Structure 1
């Protein structure tokens, strides 16, 4: 049998395995079918290629251009999902597992593409937070900005998610403008290789933006510097070895780790047998034990239920697990496939034996179980194994040993504080869940356990139809955890992008900050509008372009008519004596929303034109009351522009209202959609 050669992609070329390559076996049959690894890879050349070719090309692009690129990559992968599915069966995963990995990874790309377009500027500098007033008169200001690191991101991924594991790191990296070198786990690198080929063949990425190491990294980490990032997923021991590299320590190389995690799920004291929450809990635990054959970094390893319901949990969970059909993942009737390799199977058995020192196995015999369509002695098959720890307070190994497979341990708690303490015994996890219909239980778990867990998933009868599950990290939310879980964060929307950027404090005049951030800062010299801004298309407007309107006097009749028309007869507008007793008002004053309406009347161009819609108003503040007889005028400035489609873009206008004494009475930001 000719073994498939799994290549690396280095400095623009595909490099086949050499004589020292590692053999990869099918999880189903145990037979070798591929080789991967090349000990002669020019790792310094790969790093140089990323830094000098890929990085500059990506940094020339705006955030929006990079977001469009990521969306195009997702579409390219989506068009060839089936070939990825077909190849992934060799990892032991069933069809629903492929959807978690492949569809989940593609979906993550789409989310980052969307967030890049909606939450980041169509520019090169990301503004982090609001302006800081550093001087009395506003001529010296501060602003935090984020710009792309000028190095390379080295992604070291685990075997269990060869596609999602790559894409959930790659999407925020590319969006930040940083090239990536991807190193998948060798056991499943053939799936990652195919996904990389699909993306590269699509012709979307600039040269040097993405490289692939199939096999070992060699001494690549010894060549990293302060502009580089290492993002790792895997065991705590491997993470410790990598992050202890003297070069990484000496050069303060950013190191993001997602590692071992003794995740827990707490059944709330209110969730008695017969409640929707109890049934939901059993379903969630069973799914997390068997999805990907339990090879998920977020899988439930410790099942924490009240002492009065522990036996009911064991019985219900055992009954559900007994219905799981184990076998060839290519069969439609299979509900749990194989582990990724026989080596992984042996590791799980060894860890299960350690758990057995403190807990009794109450379901699943690894020596006696059925496998359909495959030879269980040759393939990496195991049954779900459920343990019961009767004395979790005096146990240690159930709280520090992760059997990375279909293995979990039930333990009982006396009260909710005890449940929280048991969950925290894991010394840091990626996720802990609580299934409860009692909001006070959920709040107590968050307050008592939040510091120990990267994510707390709460579910009950109200949210269960739409919830995504205990074990589903979402690209919108951070994925990571403290302590044992590695102390890192991934994804989290724009938060994840900022891991690959440098936050810098910028100090200077309003004009300097406007030029750097491409967002108009008050105090910057105005660009006088030569025509009404509302008559100008999106592409014709300049940042800082300003319209100053005529003034309008506010009368008592205006105030009373507005009150009658709207029904807003609040005393400050209608009762002079009552208003004077209020420390904020000198007497009757105009409605704030009357002022906004008058402001619109002063600056709006009524005729049909490029302004398509008013889509919102942000950051409204009223600073000084307006009395009858006062006048107001408006300054309307283009603050920021964001292209939304090829047909229109969003314009953010800075609007100030001042009175006859040039005192500011109101300020806000107006959002319009303008034809391109």
Structure 2
């Protein structure tokens, strides 16, 4: 049979060398149908498993992830260029996620009492069914499991449509679930084109949809889910503000800004992209930040000494370079980097742009790569105005020694998460997601467990 669309294979290309390392044939309509049948059949059994048993499987998953951690980390590095130390940390974070939900998740799904007199009414959290997940390449395992783990714990099944360039990681995850004792159909990998995704969304066997990706992808998936009257969760782009006030610990702020901007070679949604620095310290901060950025080791991602590896896709490097050039043409100052690194690999030099204003490209658009933009703010109020002057609203950071001032600023910021004296992170203990064009819905914490549940009212003996 023919593939669902004109493309025939998903290709994995090593961005450090440009060599093709994997070719995975797209599934046809018959294979899509079989996958959805397996997920549907597994759901009927899985939803009736006691919560304690579902939690036991998550505990086993943590062990399976650790057993094949090195193979998974090496695959991440090979497919999308993440430095190996960071890839290993990603797998361990996923194992800890599974353990955390195994320990704390069941309580989040317990029947919830209401304020009805005599306690005769409560809320039950019932699973919806097979959930289609369209996931990105930048955290090939974490992005998937931070949604899959709570979704499965709730009693749903999970159908992963992964990014074409990280299908090797997708199949290793499936193997880990199998090793942990998850039955066939509970965690499925669906290798299809965009047309296949549309067919899956429209299919009545898919109960809901989640996507992590670009604004454009979110608009398309959201529209299709809406047309099918299906709930969706969208975690989209970010152009996160990183505010540093005059009274901040500058050394701590610089260290956090460097990690927050350049980890994963700058390919992070929730990252320190717009460095908004109060005027009194902008020169000192800039000097320290440029020097720290200059010291970053860029190179072979398989080396434990490398901090900045290649960008994952060659087309995205071209797009990033165009955004940098546009910002410079608009009047920004180049302090470091600013160009592609010659050679076969897909490297972009760590770049620092200064004198960026609210009318420039790097202020308005998300730059998904190792590029930092420094913006001067007159005072704290101006910093807040600059931070909110964005179509995005994922996370924000505030650096100040005054906790009352930090709280006052946090109350005004239009983002899904705020981190005081720290860079943005995702953690199973707290909700993750955005507002505005950064999407809607939440992952992690009890919100992530309940996102794909039917909050069912059960009212006994109502008089």
SS in 2 for 1:153: strand
SS in 1 for 2:297: coil
Q: 1:353 aligns with which of 282, 303, 325?
A: 325
Residues 493-519 of structure 1 deviation map (CA, whole Å, 9 limit, x = unaligned): 222111111012222228x9xxxxxxx
2:58 counterpart of 1:105: no
Give the match for residue 654 of structure 1. Answer: none
CA distance in 1, matches of 2:393, 2:163: 22
SS in 2 for 1:308: coil
CA distance in 2, matches of 1:481, 1:333: 33
Q: Is the 8 A contact 1:131 1:141 kept in 2?
A: no
Alignment of 1:113-262 (within 5 A): 113-117=102-106, 119-120=107-108, 126-133=110-117, 138=118, 141-149=120-128, 151-200=129-178, 202=179, 204-216=181-193, 218=196, 219-225=198-204, 228-245=207-224, 248-262=225-239
Residues 150-179 of structure 1 deviation map (CA, whole Å, 9 limit, x = unaligned): x21011111101110111011011001000
Cα 1:503–1:357 change in 2 (3 A) is farther
Cα 1:99–1:426 change in 2 (3 A) is farther
2:365 counterpart of 1:383: no
Q: Is the 8 A contact 2:243 2:398 kept in 1?
A: yes
Q: 2:384 aligns with which of 415, 420, 423?
A: 420
Deviation at 1:331, TM superposition (A): 2.0
Residues 625-662 of structure 1 deviation map (CA, whole Å, 9 limit, x = unaligned): xxxxxxxxxxxxxxxxxxxxxxxxxxxxxxxxxxxxxx
Give the match for residue 27 of structure 1. Answer: 15
Alignment of 1:305-454 (within 5 A): 305-367=277-339, 376-392=342-358, 395=359, 397-449=361-413, 452-454=414-416
CA distance in 1, matches of 2:261, 2:373: 10
Give the match for residue 37 of structure 2. Answer: 48
Q: Is the 8 A contact 2:418 2:424 kept in 1?
A: no
Deviation at 1:368, TM superposition (A): 7.4
Structure 1, unaligned runs of 5 or more? 1-14, 272-276, 370-375, 460-468, 513-676
Q: Is the 8 A contact 2:11 2:20 kept in 1?
A: yes
SS in 2 for 1:448: coil
2:418 counterpart of 1:456: yes
Q: 1:490 aligns with which of 438, 443, 450?
A: 443
Q: Is the 8 A contact 1:226 1:251 kept in 2?
A: no
Alignment of 1:552-591 (within 5 A): none
Q: What is the RMSD of the two structures over their aligned residues, measured on CA atoms?
A: 2.3
Give the match for residue 70 of structure 1. Answer: 58
Q: 1:267 aligns with which of 220, 244, 247?
A: 244
Alignment of 1:276-287 (within 5 A): 277-287=249-259
Cα 1:203–1:445 change in 2 (3 A) is closer
SS in 2 for 1:478: coil
Give the match for residue 563 of structure 1. Answer: none
CA distance in 1, matches of 2:320, 2:153: 37
CA distance in 2, matches of 1:379, 1:76: 33
Cα 1:199–1:227 change in 2 (3 A) is closer
Moved beyond 6 Å, runs of 4+: none
Give the match for residue 459 of structure 2. Answer: 507
Alignment of 1:579-658 (within 5 A): none
Q: Is the 8 A contact 2:86 2:264 kept in 1?
A: yes
- Higher relative contact order, structure no. (Cα contacts within 8 Å, ≥ 6 residues apart): 2
SS in 2 for 1:346: helix
SS in 1 for 2:280: coil
Deviation at 1:227, TM superposition (A): 6.8
Cα 1:153–1:85 change in 2 (3 A) is same
Cα 1:171–1:61 change in 2 (3 A) is same
Number of residues of Structure 1 aligned to a counterpart in Structure 2:
456
Cα 1:474–1:32 change in 2 (3 A) is same
Q: Is the 8 A contact 1:57 1:206 kept in 2?
A: no
- Select the structure of larger CA radius of gyration: 1
CA distance in 1, matches of 2:188, 2:357: 50
SS in 1 for 2:126: strand
CA distance in 1, matches of 2:288, 2:167: 38
Structure whose residues are more often helix by fraction: 2
Deviation at 1:415, TM superposition (A): 1.6
2:81 counterpart of 1:92: yes
**TM-score relative to the length of structure 2:** 0.92
Structure whose residues are more often strand by fraction: 1
Q: Is the 8 A contact 1:363 1:384 kept in 2?
A: no
Cα 1:193–1:454 change in 2 (3 A) is same
CA distance in 2, matches of 1:84, 1:226: 31
Deviation at 1:203, TM superposition (A): 5.4
SS in 2 for 1:336: coil
2:436 counterpart of 1:474: no
**TM-score relative to the length of structure 1:** 0.64
Q: Is the 8 A contact 2:161 2:192 kept in 1?
A: yes
Cα 1:221–1:399 change in 2 (3 A) is farther
